[in-house]
Structure 1
Amino acid sequence: MRRVRFQTALAQIAFCSAVFAAPCALAATLSLDAVDQGWYRDDGRHITDNQNTLTGRLSNGQEYRSWYAFDLSSDPQDDDDQPEALSQSDAGRITGATVVFTGSNGLAGSDDQSETLQLYDVTTDADVLSSGRAGRDGFADLGTGETYGSAEYATPGRALRRTEELRLTLNEAALADLNAALETGEFEFLIGAVLSTLSNENRSEFLWAFSRIAPAARLDLEVAPIPLPAGLPLLAGALGGLWLLRRRQTKTA
């Protein structure tokens, strides 16, 4: 009988250890609105007080690329699971990211049935972009370098249509840069956007023409829970097992 009780106690301890060894919480969510946005034209022009995020090319042959800036230290929104703003100590905890482009923000137009939106990293400082001083180098920066992901957008084909919400999941390169921005304490994360499927003809192919909504994009982050100390789950499991054993002995006494 004692042998059976001892084996039962071991089983209970193992069960409790497994329960307490599970993650202490589910991954938290954190939504950050873009704190700045705009476009650069292929001749280097940017209008500083314009929140328009036109991306693509107009019939005059001029190409536009847009950019979006996020402050990773911004306070969480009311419906976020993340209880407080991110800090340097949170580097490495961002495990997922999605950019959500606001719907009904301007017009989309193309003779084609779809266009591909490509996202890139941005090395130009946000203040330089916002001030219009980036010029042609800034335009080039918005569509070169490390790619963060792409998405196909269905365009009306020879018609104009209100833009729809577009969600684009960022890749591992973007996640690495997000965590690096936390680690260095810069907290600045920028994204450049281009239409990578532009034809060689001088015809209109664009998203977000006449857009005026600010913020034009939102960054949804998945933040991993802070892990428990290595020995704590085992200790908790052992204590739980001893408590169950004592409770069983009390009942049989």
Structure 2
Amino acid sequence: MSDRITTPHISIPRLGLGTWKLSGAEGQASVESALALGYRALDTAERYENEAEVGAGLKASGLPRGDVFVTSKVWWEHLGPDQIRAACEASLSRLGTDYLDLYLVHWPRPNIDLARVMHDMARLREEGLVRAVGVANFPPGLLKRAIETGVPIAANQVEYHALLSQERLLEITRPQGIVLTAYSPLGQGRLIENARIAAIAARLGATAGQVALAWLLRQDGVAAIPKAARRETQRANLAALDLAAKLTETDIAELDALPKDQRFVNPGFAPDWSA
């Protein structure tokens, strides 16, 4: 299994560092630690209010900019006419970089003018500010509408883990060459405490977190961006890449059999997930 997912639109590391709630000096140190360990993908957003720290960590790493895949996102309140470009330029300034590898619509706003928004995003790619564009938190119906705009969509970033099915989305993303990026891949820590996952982990000499991540990482077209502030956790998450190839059919069947209806990220402005 390759450590990267390559599609006609994008080549992205299968495992990246999520940075939500990683801010200040600790946030920068976490980014530096992850890059030193071998991470080559960083995920941030204007809403996280940590792009400056992520950029500082990237600069301090000494790695060439082209070696690290950087994703940021435009907030749903900044999708109006002329707002997307300004938001992108502000993100680039805070990150201290000339381009983003991937720029996403963070959440769809109610009554979104999808055709205009997607074409505004595409213009950023045409002008070289971003290498690829995509969306986040788009349910199946809305993702289909986004595809119908004709703008090449590289990724859809959504909550995805062993307790939440995204089969309806995967049926769309895989044929379209769209990467499904899993945020909260450990269910904000809940999967680590799951007894059935822990039992599989004990059998494999791994942790429950590693097993939950490995279940995702072994899937075609699925990337994951677990947040990890501590170096030990970052190292453990990296090891899940190797574990993914070692899961047996029995392990996978047990993980597949877990209930798949537990959503933990559902703010008031969220779209209708069933749409």
TM-based fold match above 0.5: no
Structure possessing the higher radius of gyration over alpha carbons? 1
TM-score, normalised via structure 1 length: 0.20
Whichever structure has more strand as a proportion of its residues is: 1
State the TM-score, normalizing by the size of structure 2: 0.19
Of structures 1 and 2, the one scoring higher in RCO (CA 8 A, sep 6+) is 1
